[in-house]
Every structure is written in structure tokens, then in C-alpha cells.
A and B are shown apart, each in its own frame.
Chain A
Amino acid sequence: MGVTAYISIILNGMLTGGVYGLFSSAFTFQAGALNFANFSYGAFIMLSMYLTYYTIAVWHLPVAAAVALILLINAAFGILLRKTVLKTGNFGTQILCTMGISMIVINGVSFFCSSYPRDLAILEKRLFLHPEISIGLIQLGCFGLAAAILLGFHLFLTKTWQGIAIRAVVQNREIAAVFGINTSHILDLAFSLSCCLIGVSGIMLMVMFPVTPVFGDYLQNLAFIVCISAGLGNMWGAFFSGIFIGVVPSLIMAILGARFQDPLLYLLFVLILLIRPYGIFTKNKNVVRAF
């Protein structure tokens, strides 16, 4: 393959990776900051994708209403999870319950929608940087949107009272309460926001890819790989790792053929966990986790 083809793959992979980075950031926020091992993550991205498909292509709702509906459903589930599963704080319970929820969502969707792939089939417009190198305009738009949303979230966490309160509660719940922060409400807010990010990611992914009920599992595994590589809790790191991971599978597929890209990727993941579980670029090696 020519150099231009590789450049194309890399560029387009990076753009798609922006969305991976977005939902990975939200996952690392939940896992690292909120101490929540959420194994129903992928299922909810998948659910959001299906909802996007149905609201836009089948029920023909106006886009704003569709987006609002999806965000609302995700936020509601977030609060439900917090009230039930997070209350126990027990790690084993969290895994089991969220895996169970994931099964329920996946099978529920299978039941109601059957398993054949759904695709919004939006006509792709391409931007040509060079006669042989093009990037998808949709991908570009989604990348820009993902980066903007993440930036917005970052600004929220650093410049607003609620954002600073969230960071305070995450670090020291008791003292936060001493200064008048209603920790329960703040955690609800933080959780709902990260769940809304799930919804937004789902919408963007639906615009770019077809969906099946098991697509969520694949995305969840990607999120794990991204977040571990970047170090749990590192949101910007997860974003950039996500961009990276948008490229790697496509590159492997281009170089080695489609045969063993997945097993290699997962093996790489296990290796990272064994060698540098605190993150490839994290300087702080002595991380004693709460888990």
C-alpha cells in the first residue's frame, strides 16, 4: 500500500478516535474519580445508538428532541445506578450488577429490535487534502464536536462552582460536606453528566457506524484499553489515547490483514496491564488504588 493510503487510514482513524476518546474520558471519570466500575458502559452506548437510529430514521423526531430524549434517558439511568448499585460501594456487587444490567439491555434490544445491523446510511462527503488523501466530513465534524464537548467539561470542572465542588467531593467527601456541599446531590450531578457523555457518544457513533446489539461490548473493551493505557482518572489522557486507538486497529488490519487484529489488540491490553497498569505515560508509579 502506498504512503498516501496509510496517511488516509491514520487521519481517518484519528478522527474516529476522537469519539472513542470522548466516551473513554467519561468512563475513566466514572472509574477513576467516582470509583465506579461500570460494566454496563458499552451497553448504554449501544442503547443510545439504537435510540438515535429510531428517533431519527424511524420515528422522524426533530434532531433537538432526539438528542434531548437520549440525554435524559442516560441521565435517568445514571441516577438510578447511583441510588441502587453505587450505594453498596462493594466492588464485586458493582461488577455483577452492571454486568447484569448490560445483559438486560443487550438482550432487551435484541428482543425488541432483532440483531441485524442498523445503519443511518448518511451519505458521506469527503474532503480532499490531496488527490489520494481524503477525510470524511462527518468524521471531522464529530471529532471537532467531541473535542469541544470535552473542553467544555474540563472548563466546567475547573471554572464553575459545581465543577470545583465535584472535584472536592471526589477527593474528600467529609470535608466537602463540612463546607456545605450536599455530597449526594453533587455525586448525582457528576454521574449524570458522565452518563450524558455516553449518550452524546452514542449519537455521534450512530452517525458514523452501523450498530448491532453486541457492538457495545466491543466499544467497552476499547474503553478499557484506552483508559488503562492512559491511567484511570486521567481524562485528557483518555481522550488522546482514544484518538490513538482509533488508528491502531485499522493500521493492524491494513498491515496484517483482518485476521488477527482483535486477539492482538486484547493481548496488548493484557500486556499493558501486566507491565504498566497505572498508565503508559503516568509518572506517578506508586498508585495505591481504592479497589
Chain B
Amino acid sequence: MLLEISNLNVILSGLHILQDLSLYVNQGELVVVVGANGSGKSTLLRTIMGMNKPQAGAINFKGTQIGGAASYTIVSRGLCLVAEGRQLFRSLTARENLCLGAYHYRKDKKRVEANLEKVYALFPVLKENSSRIASTFSGGEQQMIALGQGLMSEPELMMIDELSLGLAPKIIETLFKIIKELNQNNMSILLIEQNTRQSLQIADRAYVLETGRIILTGTGKELLDNPTVKEAYLGL
């Protein structure tokens, strides 16, 4: 298992946000966590990334415990986060944003340039506008910058928080396709989504998170056919 979370408990501002949460991601898998607003999805990723300390439970990445480790030590292990709301460095240029993804191996200039070219190949619109300030890009393009940033950090497991929030359907489709392609090229992905249908369609496995607890798990297809999921999350 690449990432293994056991009995994670997180309490923030007196609220027990995550309760005895266990999930895992294997090498090469695309795992999706769906859930409504406020179910604790973002807290999960933020805790893995060291922004919150868990009260109890273990987070194990590639055999090492990383629960409670400082944020900046985590990316060099091969774990990256594409945060929700397209949190970029808004007054920096697209190029600067992307390069910051490579900060933890910045001394190796050739590697940085090579990865930058790969990201540009994936998102040509960023290459054309690389010296524009990030805040001037559209929502979809900003999400591309955020994804590009994540890719630049050379992750083994890429965690994405709310890929589709606030974006137009056509762009969402494109982005999901890109995620699926990345996964097919051996990138392990943990995707957090409110957009249940499209994310379950590309998932290998998935979890359903409700008020801090995992209530269902299975393959993407199994959950799509699951009656509870159908009723509560797919509106059928």
C-alpha cells in the first residue's frame, strides 16, 4: 500500500471532524472520496499534508509514519496536494507558480526544466501565457496551473481537493480526462470530489464520506450501482 490511513481522528475547534477513518491507496490506483459539503473531505487531505495534527490514528506513506509531520517535509517524500479553491500564488506568474512546485529539488536545473516542458506539453495554454499573473487566468486555467504545480513536484501520489468546483462542464470533462490519463501513466491519485457521477466513473476504488465517517467503499462501478449512493449522491 502506498498510503494507509488507520483510525484517523481529527478534532478542530472542538468539532470531531474525522472519526475513526481508515482508507488506503495502492500503487497505481485512482481512489476517489465522495461526500457532501462539510463531510470532512478537505480536512482529510489537509491532515495528511500536515496542516492539522491528528488527535489519534496513523497516516502511513511508503512505510513511514507522517501523521503530525511538518507540512514542508512531506512533499519530498512523494506526496503532493492540489488544494481546493485553486489556491495559487495569485500575484506570481504562471511560470513562477509552476516552478514553485519544483522547489524541493530546485538545485537540479535540468530536472526542473524537463518537468516544466512536460507540464507545458500537457497544458499548452500555460506555455503561451507563462509570464501572465496567475490571477488573470480563467477558473479552468487556474486549475491547470494548480495541477501543473502538483505535477512539478514529481509526486508518487497526487492528492486533489475538489477538482471540479465552480468550473464549467466542458472544462470539468477535460480535466477529468487528464486525471484519468495521468493515472493510466502510473500516477497514483487520491481525488476528493463533490461531483459524484463523473468521479466514480473514472475511479478504480472509492469511499463515501459522511460527517467524518466512511460509510461505504467499493470499486467505482460498484458504488455507481449502489442504491444508497444513487439516492443520496446521484439524485436518482
Contact = CB atoms under 8 A, between A and B. Distances in A.
A–B interface present (Cβ within 8 A): yes
A178 B80 CA distance: 7
Contacts of A175: 83, 87-89
A165 B97 CA distance: 10
Interface string B140-172: 000000000100010000000000000000000
Interface in A150-172: 161, 164-165, 167-168, 171-172
A2 interface: no
Contact of B103 (A165, A167, A171, A172): A165
A180 B89 contact: no
Contacts of A167: 89, 91-92, 96
A167 B103 CA distance: 13
A178 B79 CA distance: 9
Given A179-B75, A181-B72, A164 B90 contact: no
Given A164-B96, A167-B89, A168-B92, A180 B49 contact: no
Nearest to B99: A164
A180 B153 CA distance: 9
B91 A171 contact: yes
Contacts of A174: 51, 71, 83, 87
Interface in B68-85: 70-76, 80-81, 83
B90 A171 contact: yes
Contacts of B177: none
Contacts, number: 67
Nearest to A182: B72
A179 B100 contact: yes
A183 interface: yes
Contacts of A180: 72-73, 75-76, 103-104, 153
A76 interface: no
A177 interface: yes
Chain A residues touching B, range: 10 to 19
Nearest to B81: A178
B106 interface: yes
Interface in B6-35: none
B2 to A, nearest CB: 18
B101 interface: yes
Contacts of A181: 72, 100, 103
Given A161-B106, A164-B100, A168-B100, A177 B90 contact: no
A179 B96 contact: no
A172 B89 contact: yes
A172 B81 CA distance: 14
A179 B149 contact: yes
Given A177-B70, A181-B100, 16 more contacts: A161-B103, A161-B106, A164-B92, A164-B96, A165-B100, A167-B91, A167-B96, A171-B90, A172-B88, A177-B50, A178-B74, A178-B81, A179-B104, A179-B153, A180-B72, A180-B75
Interface of B: 49-51, 70-76, 80-81, 83, 87-92, 96, 99-101, 103-104, 106, 149, 153
Nearest 8 interchain pairs by C-beta: A180-B104, A177-B71, A180-B75, A177-B72, A168-B89, A161-B106, A171-B89, A182-B72
